[in-house]
Structure 1
Amino acid sequence: MACFTRSMAFCRSGSQPWRISYRHLSSSPTNKPCIGIRREESSVWERRAPLAPHHVRTLTRDGFQVVIQPSTRRAYSMFEYIDAGAELSEDLSVADVILGVKAMPVECLEMLSNKTVAFFSHTIKAQESSMPLLDGCIEKNVRILDYEKILAESGQRIVAFGHFAGTAGMINILHGVGLRLLALGFHTPLMHIGGAHNYSSTSAAKAAIANVGREIQYGLMPKSMHPLTFVFSGNGNVSRGAQEVFKQLPVQWIQPKDLEAVAKSGDNRRFYGCIVDRFDHLYRTEGGGYNDEEFLEFPERYSSNFVEKVAPHMSVLMNGIYWTPAHARLLTKQNIYPLLQKRGPVHHGLGGMPSRLLAIGDISCDLGGSIEFITRSTTLDNMFEIYDAESDNYTTDFSSDGILYMSIDNLPAQLPREATDFFGDQLLAFVPELARADWSKSLDDVQISSSLKDAMITYDKSLTPGYKYIDDLRAAQD
Structure 2
Amino acid sequence: MAKQLCIWGASSTQLQLLSHWKCFLPASLTSTSYSLSQQRQWHRSLATGGRSPRPVIAIRRETVNVWERRAPLSPNQVRRLVKSGIKVIVQPSDRRAYSMKEYSDIGAVILEDMSEASLIMGVKQVPVDCLVRDKTYAFFSHTIKAQADNMPLLDAILEKNIRLIDYEKMVDENGARVVAFGKYAGVSGMINILHGMGLRLLALGHHTPFMHIGPSHNYRNTEMARQAVRDAGYEIALGRMPRSVGPMTFIFTGSGNVSQGAQEVFQELPHEYIGPEHLPKVAAQGSTNKLYACVVSRDDHYTRKEGGKFDAEEFEQHPERYASTFSHNIAPYASCIINGIYWAVGAPRLITIPEAKTLLRPTDAPWLPSSPGCPHLPHRLLAICDISADPGGSIEFMKECTTIDRPFSLYDAEQNVDKESFAGDGVLICSIDNMPAQIPREATEYFGSLLLPYVNDMLASDPQSSFEDYKCNPIVKNAVIASNGKLTPNYEYIADLRTKCSLRSSHKAKLSVGGERVLVLGAGYVSAPAVEYLTRTKSTSVTIVTVITDPFRKLNGSTKWVKLRGMSEKKQEKGHNSKSFDLINLKLTQIEVHSSTTSQRNPRGDQCIFASATAAN
TM-score if structure 2 supplies the norm length? 0.71
Residue 381 of structure 1: which of 388, 395, 405 is its match? 405
1:36-55 C-alpha deviation (Å, 9 max, x unpaired) = 10100011111110000111
Counterpart in 1 of 2:437?
413
Describe the shift of the 1:114–1:344 C-alpha distance in structure 2 as closer, same or farther (beyond 3 A). Answer: farther
Residue 326 of structure 1: which of 339, 346, 371 is its match? 346
Residue 385 of structure 2: which of 350, 361, 379 is its match? 361
The reply to whether residue 72 of structure 1 matches residue 94 of structure 2 is: yes
Looking at structure 2, the residues matched to 228 and 369 of structure 1 have their Cα atoms a distance apart, in angstroms, of: 26
1:189-211 C-alpha deviation (Å, 9 max, x unpaired) = 00000011111111111111111
Shift of 1:296: 2.2
Looking at structure 2, the residues matched to 199 and 388 of structure 1 have their Cα atoms a distance apart, in angstroms, of: 31
Looking at structure 1, the residues matched to 477 and 313 of structure 2 have their Cα atoms a distance apart, in angstroms, of: 25
8 A contact 1:438–1:447 mirrored in 2: no
Shift of 1:125: 1.1
Shift of 1:448: 1.4
Shift of 1:344: 5.3
Counterpart in 2 of 1:196?
216
8 A contact 1:251–1:271 mirrored in 2: yes
1:103-114 pair list within 5 angstroms: 103-109=125-131, 112-114=132-134
The reply to whether residue 40 of structure 1 matches residue 51 of structure 2 is: no
Looking at structure 1, the residues matched to 70 and 398 of structure 2 have their Cα atoms a distance apart, in angstroms, of: 26
Counterpart in 1 of 2:119?
97
Q: Secondary structure at the match of 1:102?
A: coil
The reply to whether residue 149 of structure 1 matches residue 169 of structure 2 is: yes
1:248-277 C-alpha deviation (Å, 9 max, x unpaired) = 000110000111110011100000000000
Looking at structure 2, the residues matched to 241 and 117 of structure 1 have their Cα atoms a distance apart, in angstroms, of: 29
The reply to whether residue 60 of structure 1 matches residue 99 of structure 2 is: no
Which amino acid letter does the alignment assign opposite residue 213 of structure 2?
I
Q: Aligned Cα RMSD in Å?
A: 1.4
8 A contact 2:161–2:463 mirrored in 1: no
Q: Secondary structure at the match of 1:101?
A: coil
The worse-fitting range, judged by mean Cα deviation, of 310-319 and 201-210 is 201-210
Q: Name which one, 1 or 2, has greater alpha-carbon Rg.
A: 2
8 A contact 1:166–1:240 mirrored in 2: yes
Looking at structure 1, the residues matched to 419 and 245 of structure 2 have their Cα atoms a distance apart, in angstroms, of: 24
1:30-429 pair list within 5 angstroms: 31-109=53-131, 112-343=132-363, 347-348=371-372, 350-429=374-453
Looking at structure 2, the residues matched to 201 and 265 of structure 1 have their Cα atoms a distance apart, in angstroms, of: 37
The worse-fitting range, judged by mean Cα deviation, of 37-46 and 282-291 is 282-291
Shift of 1:347: 2.6
Looking at structure 1, the residues matched to 250 and 93 of structure 2 have their Cα atoms a distance apart, in angstroms, of: 39
1:324-350 C-alpha deviation (Å, 9 max, x unpaired) = 112110011111001100335553255
1:141-191 C-alpha deviation (Å, 9 max, x unpaired) = 222110010011111100000000000000000000000000110000000
The reply to whether residue 461 of structure 1 matches residue 485 of structure 2 is: yes
Looking at structure 1, the residues matched to 76 and 55 of structure 2 have their Cα atoms a distance apart, in angstroms, of: 18
Shift of 1:97: 0.6
The reply to whether residue 447 of structure 1 matches residue 471 of structure 2 is: yes
Shift of 1:298: 2.3
Which amino acid letter does the alignment assign opposite residue 392 of structure 2?
G
Counterpart in 2 of 1:23?
none
Looking at structure 2, the residues matched to 339 and 114 of structure 1 have their Cα atoms a distance apart, in angstroms, of: 53
Looking at structure 1, the residues matched to 444 and 276 of structure 2 have their Cα atoms a distance apart, in angstroms, of: 35
8 A contact 1:50–1:420 mirrored in 2: yes
Structure 2 unaligned residues grouped into runs of 5+ = 1-49, 504-617
Looking at structure 2, the residues matched to 65 and 30 of structure 1 have their Cα atoms a distance apart, in angstroms, of: 12
Counterpart in 2 of 1:7?
none
8 A contact 1:35–1:97 mirrored in 2: yes
Q: Secondary structure at the match of 2:480?
A: coil
- Identity within the alignment, %: 52
Which amino acid letter does the alignment assign opposite residue 71 of structure 1?
S
Shift of 1:470: 0.9
Looking at structure 2, the residues matched to 213 and 268 of structure 1 have their Cα atoms a distance apart, in angstroms, of: 11
8 A contact 1:40–1:47 mirrored in 2: yes
Shift of 1:33: 0.7
Q: Secondary structure at the match of 2:295?
A: strand
Looking at structure 1, the residues matched to 114 and 479 of structure 2 have their Cα atoms a distance apart, in angstroms, of: 22
Structure 1 unaligned residues grouped into runs of 5+ = 1-27
Shift of 1:357: 0.4
8 A contact 1:137–1:458 mirrored in 2: yes
8 A contact 1:337–1:389 mirrored in 2: yes
Shift of 1:221: 0.2
1:19-50 C-alpha deviation (Å, 9 max, x unpaired) = xxxxxxxxx99611100101000111111100
Looking at structure 2, the residues matched to 170 and 83 of structure 1 have their Cα atoms a distance apart, in angstroms, of: 35
Looking at structure 2, the residues matched to 316 and 30 of structure 1 have their Cα atoms a distance apart, in angstroms, of: 59
Counterpart in 2 of 1:5?
none
8 A contact 2:464–2:484 mirrored in 1: no
The reply to whether residue 476 of structure 1 matches residue 500 of structure 2 is: yes
Looking at structure 2, the residues matched to 464 and 44 of structure 1 have their Cα atoms a distance apart, in angstroms, of: 33
8 A contact 1:138–1:461 mirrored in 2: yes
Shift of 1:303: 1.2
Describe the shift of the 1:221–1:133 C-alpha distance in structure 2 as closer, same or farther (beyond 3 A). Answer: same
Shift of 1:426: 0.6
Looking at structure 2, the residues matched to 116 and 352 of structure 1 have their Cα atoms a distance apart, in angstroms, of: 58
Describe the shift of the 1:344–1:50 C-alpha distance in structure 2 as closer, same or farther (beyond 3 A). Answer: farther
1:101-151 C-alpha deviation (Å, 9 max, x unpaired) = 011122222xx1111110111111111221121112112222211001001
The worse-fitting range, judged by mean Cα deviation, of 429-438 and 282-291 is 429-438
Looking at structure 2, the residues matched to 421 and 107 of structure 1 have their Cα atoms a distance apart, in angstroms, of: 29
8 A contact 1:29–1:94 mirrored in 2: no
1:301-323 C-alpha deviation (Å, 9 max, x unpaired) = 21111111101110100000001
Looking at structure 2, the residues matched to 374 and 231 of structure 1 have their Cα atoms a distance apart, in angstroms, of: 17
8 A contact 1:282–1:302 mirrored in 2: yes
TM-score if structure 1 supplies the norm length? 0.92
Which amino acid letter does the alignment assign opposite residue 236 of structure 1?
G
Q: Secondary structure at the match of 2:139?
A: strand
8 A contact 1:40–1:46 mirrored in 2: yes
Describe the shift of the 1:29–1:214 C-alpha distance in structure 2 as closer, same or farther (beyond 3 A). Answer: farther
Q: Secondary structure at the match of 1:425?
A: helix
Describe the shift of the 1:334–1:34 C-alpha distance in structure 2 as closer, same or farther (beyond 3 A). Answer: same
